[in-house]
Amino acid sequence: MNTPRLLAVSVGVSAPLGVRARGGNEAVASAIVKHPVSTVARPDAVAVGRLGVTGDEQVDQSVHGGLDKAVYVYPIEHYAFWNTVRGQAGLAPLPPAGALGENLTVEGLLEGDVYVGDVLSVGEVELRVESPRAPCFKFNAHLGFSWASKMMVQSGYTGFYCAVVRPGRLAAGQPVLKRVGDRVVSIEQMHRLKHRSPQSRLF
């Protein structure tokens, strides 16, 4: 099995995001739109502190950010799924990194591969795996179709949030080394436990 690696580091700042409302459309603040600041082609080192990647903002810290959700990690393997769904909706493919609102785009590290409490080492940084993402209405607006959140719940392609155990610097292209914890529940299992409703109820 190949060692997982970091493909990109992305950050975003608060900006208006158009969402559907009862009276039409309205703008809400969101930092879900992110752009890469370190890629395999240009592996600039990026600092990560206790509250996340330097230069990244989290607007609503009740659902994103804070110590337990400081860094959001997403597997590149799921991009094909989202591009297929966007194509069916008549939309263009996603940008190659940061497009799901993630800070770290990784390869070879899926939701079933990591358990709550596992520690991931990338460069100088250590991250503790905490929880799967629970998408909100802003995710629908960002992806461009109203059923995006339901598709994330149904597919289980959630990515996962991490706490920063050791701040430092990391860069795209570096390996992601895993130190296993108690291995009680994986991110995939935690997501399924939270969403036990039949899939038919999601649509």
Helices (H), the chain: 79-88, 137-143, 148-155, 187-194
For residue 13, what is the domain's CATH number? 2.40.33.20
Strand partners, 27: 18
Structure tokens at 171: 């860069």
CA dist 156 and 121 (Å) reads: 24
Split into its structural domains, the chain has a count of 1
Per-residue pLDDT, 64: 81
Structure tokens at 147: 């059923």
Could you list the residue range(s) of the whole structural domain that residue 78 is in?
5-202
Count other Cβ atoms within 10 Å, centred on residue 180: 10
Per-residue pLDDT, 203: 37
Q: What does DSSP assign to residue 170?
A: E
Instruction: Spell out the per-residue pLDDT of the chain, length 203, in tens.
Output: 689 999 999 999 999 999 876 666 899 999 999 999 999 999 999 999 999 999 999 888 777 889 999 999 999 999 999 999 999 999 999 999 999 999 999 999 999 999 999 999 999 999 999 999 999 899 999 999 999 999 999 999 999 999 999 999 999 999 999 999 999 999 999 999 998 855 434 43
- Residues 6 or more apart whose CB falls under 8 angstroms from that of 167 comprise 47, 48, 49, 50, 124, 125
Per-residue pLDDT, 200: 37
CA dist 138 and 24 (Å) reads: 15
